[in-house]
Structure 1
Amino acid sequence: MTILQISDTHNRHRLLTNLPTADVLVHCGDFTDMGTEEEALNFLNWLIEQPYRHKIFVTGNHDLCLWEAENIEDLPNNIHFLQDRGCEIEGVRFFGLAYNHQESIIPHGVDVLITHEPPAMILDESNGIHWGNLSLRNKVLE
């Protein structure tokens, strides 16, 4: 299974015209800029149009209108909004942790963990500073 991961598109997702092929497209949040419903609907319509067999997304700190959402009605079956929940695709267990939610809800046995912020000290460095989440790091290393 091939997975293409993107994030932080901030309303610029329609500029992504030549994405590589993959089985699963994962967006790790910040698909909106101001967090409005209009921006979220624009993103969802774009996501529906994408040719990937499966599409997964979680919220980021900019996606305010969906922070408290538990589900989004009428999404196609191949689009998975993993807001503190998981799904299984072809035997691979995915789990999405919503932005700023508790790491304690991450179940054991997850193959692919999807979050907006990285665990501390794991690919989290920018401009010489580690921005990751220490609690998330501890949970991942359990």
Structure 2
Amino acid sequence: MSPTLVKTRFLIISDTHGYEAMDEKRSFRQEVPPSQVRLHCGDLTKNGIPEDYEKAINMLGSIDAELKLVIAGNHDLSLDRDFYEKNGGDMNEHTRAISIWDGPLAEEAGVTLLNEGLHSFTLKNGAVLTVYASPYTPVFGDSAFQYPTGEDRFNPSERVASEATSTTVQPILDFPGVDIVMTHGPPKYVLDETSNGSNAGCPHLRRAIQHARPRLHCFGHVRPQWGLRKVVWDQKGEEETDDGYTMLPRVFVRRNQMMRKRTAYQDLSSASEEDEHGAVTVMVNAAIMNENGEPANAPWLLDLDLPTA
């Protein structure tokens, strides 16, 4: 018997890099529409200064949402203990950064910083959601929460490609074990093309998503690729190949509409769509900053169906 579904509203952002949503000339500005779940997919700051986390928490606290979830990104340097210690960072700053997210400011703002792994939540509308979160991205330059491209931290060890090494602590669960995946970086070939034409996404993450088939996978990191695309999974496809899915065209949203509504809105619930859970995953690159470091992009506001308890 299929679970009862309830329409639930998500506000999704990423890569704010210290932007406090105060510029009236930008789509993302104060008084964004309310939502039930607000997701931030990392890069809250430019370089991880503790005071900037406080600014980010204040900004996120001003957004009207029942559940506010955050992950770190590669620019949030002081949150990555191993990186910070290895690169000679002041460990007192790391301790302070962690204490800010564990302290009263974040608690009063209702903001939760998620560690890598699985997390479950129940909303007031009865919706139950299982979230897989990870701040990690393939190594590029010298920044936080990165891993060598030959390491797979997303799949169970028995599914790791022969040329890769498993470093998995908590794999992404196969379908139907997870509803939402929020990572800082994209999967390979999905909204991941950089300004120089290369694809910065992770192939191991793509393989895990192909098996998980979540309702939503949201990320940022590759700022030129802000957008939304649906992936339709081929139930008859060979799961261990790069085939087995069809990527639909990028959703078009008018800039003047985003400016007026302060968001890019899409109703993806059963009220307007007929996508069966497990057949389609909504892929969202929610980077607010563009490639020039300007807060040119709008938050995504999505209506999705979630199962009830």
TM-score, with length taken from structure 1 = 0.85
Of structures 1 and 2, the one scoring higher in RCO (CA 8 A, sep 6+) is 2
Q: Which of 32, 35, 52 in structure 2 is aligned with 1:39? A: 52
Q: Is the 8 A contact 1:37 1:65 kept in 2?
A: yes
Higher mean alpha-carbon deviation, 67-76 vs 8-17, is at 67-76
SS in 2 for 1:61: coil
- Give the structure 2 partner of residue 133 of structure 1: 202
**Structure 2 residue runs without a partner (length 5+):** 1-7, 23-28, 82-97, 137-145, 148-152, 155-167, 212-309
Q: Which of 97, 100, 113 in structure 1 is aligned with 2:134? A: 97
Q: Is the 8 A contact 1:82 1:95 kept in 2?
A: no
* Change in 2 beyond 3 A, CA 1:5/1:106: farther
- Give the structure 2 partner of residue 5 of structure 1: 12
SS in 2 for 1:45: helix
RMSD: 2.3
Bigger radius of gyration among the two: 2
Deviations 1:21-72 (A, max 9, x none): 3211111011101211111111112222221111111001101122245972
Matching of residue 83 in structure 1 with residue 83 in structure 2: no
Structure-1 separation of matches of 2:19 and 2:200:
23
Q: Is the 8 A contact 2:187 2:205 kept in 1?
A: yes
Structure-1 separation of matches of 2:39 and 2:53:
16
SS in 2 for 1:139: helix
Shift of 1:18: 4.5
SS in 2 for 1:38: helix
Structure-2 separation of matches of 1:13 and 1:126:
25
Matching of residue 106 in structure 1 with residue 113 in structure 2: no
Structure-1 separation of matches of 2:128 and 2:171:
18
* Change in 2 beyond 3 A, CA 1:141/1:8: same
Structure 1 segments of 4 or more deviating over 4 A?
A: none
Q: Is the 8 A contact 1:84 1:95 kept in 2?
A: yes
* Aligned counterparts, 1:8-23, within 5 A: 8-15=15-22, 16-23=29-36
Amino acid at match of 2:199: H
Q: Is the 8 A contact 1:97 1:106 kept in 2?
A: no
Q: Which of 185, 192, 213 in structure 2 is aligned with 1:117? A: 185
- Give the structure 1 partner of residue 69 of structure 2: 56
Amino acid at match of 2:185: E
Aligned length in residues: 142
Shift of 1:88: 1.7
Structure-2 separation of matches of 1:38 and 1:67:
16
TM-score, with length taken from structure 2 = 0.42
Structure-1 separation of matches of 2:53 and 2:207:
32
**Structure 1 residue runs without a partner (length 5+):** none
Deviations 1:89-141 (A, max 9, x none): 33111121122363232341111011100111122224333211111111111
Higher mean alpha-carbon deviation, 95-104 vs 114-123, is at 95-104
Identity of paired residues, percent? 28
